[in-house]
Amino acid sequence: MLGFPAFTGHGEPGRQGHSDAATRASVESALHAAADFEAGEITVSISGSYVILEGFVRLRGDVERAIEIAEGVVGRGYVRARLLRR
C-alpha cells in the first residue's frame, strides 16, 4: 500500500461513509503518488458504492495496476475500470 489507509469500519461497504469527494480525492492522490505508474489520463468518479476509473493508460499491465492502487484505498471489489491502453 502507498500510505493511503483503506476506509474501513464505517457504514456503506466499499466507501464506509466517506463523501464522494473525499473518496475520489483519496483515489486520485494514490494514483498520482505511485512512482511506477502514469495516471495523467485517468479520471476517477463514483457510482453508488463503486469507484469508476476511466481514461487511458500507456503500458500493458497499467489497468491492473490502477485497479490495485484504487482497491488499496476503497477495498477489494469496489473498483470498476473502463481504461484503454494507447
Q: Is residue 6 part of a domain?
A: no
Q: What is the pTM of this model?
A: 0.78
- Report how far residue 21's alpha carbon sits from residue 45's, in angstroms, rounded to the nearest whole number: 9
In sequence order, the β-bridge partners of residue 72 are none
Q: Is residue 4 part of a domain?
A: no
Q: What is the pLDDT of residue 1?
A: 44
Q: Is residue 8 part of a domain?
A: no
Q: Is residue 21 part of a domain?
A: yes
Tell me which residue of 74, 80, 14 sits closest to 43, measured CA to CA. Answer: 80
Could you tell me if 74 and 15 are in contact, meaning their C-beta atoms sit under 8 angstroms apart? Answer: yes
Mean pLDDT, residues 58-65 taken together: 92
With 90 as the cut, is the pLDDT of residue 73 above it? yes
Dig out the grid coordinates for 6 from the structure.
Answer: 483503506
Mean pLDDT, residues 55-74 taken together: 94
pLDDT per position as a tens digit, 1-57: 445 555 544 444 454 566 899 999 999 999 999 988 888 899 999 999 999 999 999
Sheet of strand 79-85: strand arrangement: 42-47, 50-57, 79-85
